[in-house]
Amino acid sequence: MKVAIFSTCVVDLFFPKVGQAMTEVLERFGCDCYLPENQICCGQPTYNSGYLKETDKTLHNEIDSLLSVDADYIVGPAGSCVAMLRSYKNSLKDDPEYAQKAAELADKSYEFSQFLYRVLGVVDAGAQLDAKATYHRSCHMTRLLGEATAPFVLLDHVKDLEMTPLPNIQNCCGFGGTFSAKEPEISQTMVDEKVDSVLSTKAEILISADPACLMNIGGRFSRRGEKIKIMHIAEVLNSNVDVKRIKYKKDIEKVEQ
């Protein structure tokens, strides 16, 4: 199976080890991974700020880059950014040159944990992590991409990992891309609420599938002097892997029958 890696600018600039972990996990499951050249931003910040036509050039560039590899799937480490890729289908539906390409891109684009669970059928990636953790469910991944199950299934099967429910999990962390820059006071109040919720769990690690959320919450942890580790789900699923523990949905279904 051939996979094009949608690296995202946040991972490229701030969390390169997340991209590495994601690729290593995918390769472990038999994916031939390729990193298309000329990737930049997916266009979400300017598009969501109302610069619709001005963002077209960015969307065109991302389409040309990601489709330059004849891949079966496109996989990214951020639910928010993958949701943006999928929105290209609607944004460019009247574009005579890019409408069909946008639809092709959207139809084969998946967030990392979503791809593992829904395409490859993985429930246990064979990972082990002896820690107490909680999970931040990002707004865009849940509400725009529509994925609220895959990360929880995969994390529940990590050996020795104690997952504690996050209070008010439905609440935004306050980042929202340009929202945090335009409304800093509101954004800070929201992220403080999120930090307080995380602290109430007594977790050692905060896990998420959206690097931008981790950057925002992790930054607030630092400013408040809180010693909590942040991890992307790809890093968790790449920890202390024993391939003998790997399980697929089909394996569990056989046991249940």
- 2-118 and 122-237 in the same fold: yes
Q: How confident is the model at residue 181 (pLDDT cuts 50, 70, 90)?
A: confident
Give the CA distances from residue 253 to residues 123, 126, 155, in Å, rounded to whole numbers and listed in that order. Answer: 11, 18, 19
For residue 89, pLDDT over 60 is answered with yes
Strands 122-124 and 247-248: antiparallel
- The model's pLDDT over 134-160, given as tens digits with 9 standing for 90+, comes to 999 999 999 999 999 999 999 999 999
Q: Which residue is associated with the tokens 């202390």?
A: 240
Report the largest interatomic distance among the alpha carbons of the chain, rounded to a whole angstrom: 55
Residue ranges per domain, the chain?
Answer: 2-118, 122-237
CB atoms within 10 A of CB 100: 13
Looking at domain 2-118, which of 3.40.50, 3.30.300, 3.30.420, 1.10.20 is its CATH number? 3.40.50
For residue 254, pLDDT over 80 is answered with no
CATH of domain 122-237: 3.40.50
**Reported pTM:** 0.94
Residue-averaged pLDDT of the chain: 94
For residue 65, pLDDT over 60 is answered with yes
Q: What local confidence, expressed as pLDDT, does residue 257 receive?
A: 47
Residue 115 and residue 125: Cα distance in Å, rounded?
Answer: 12
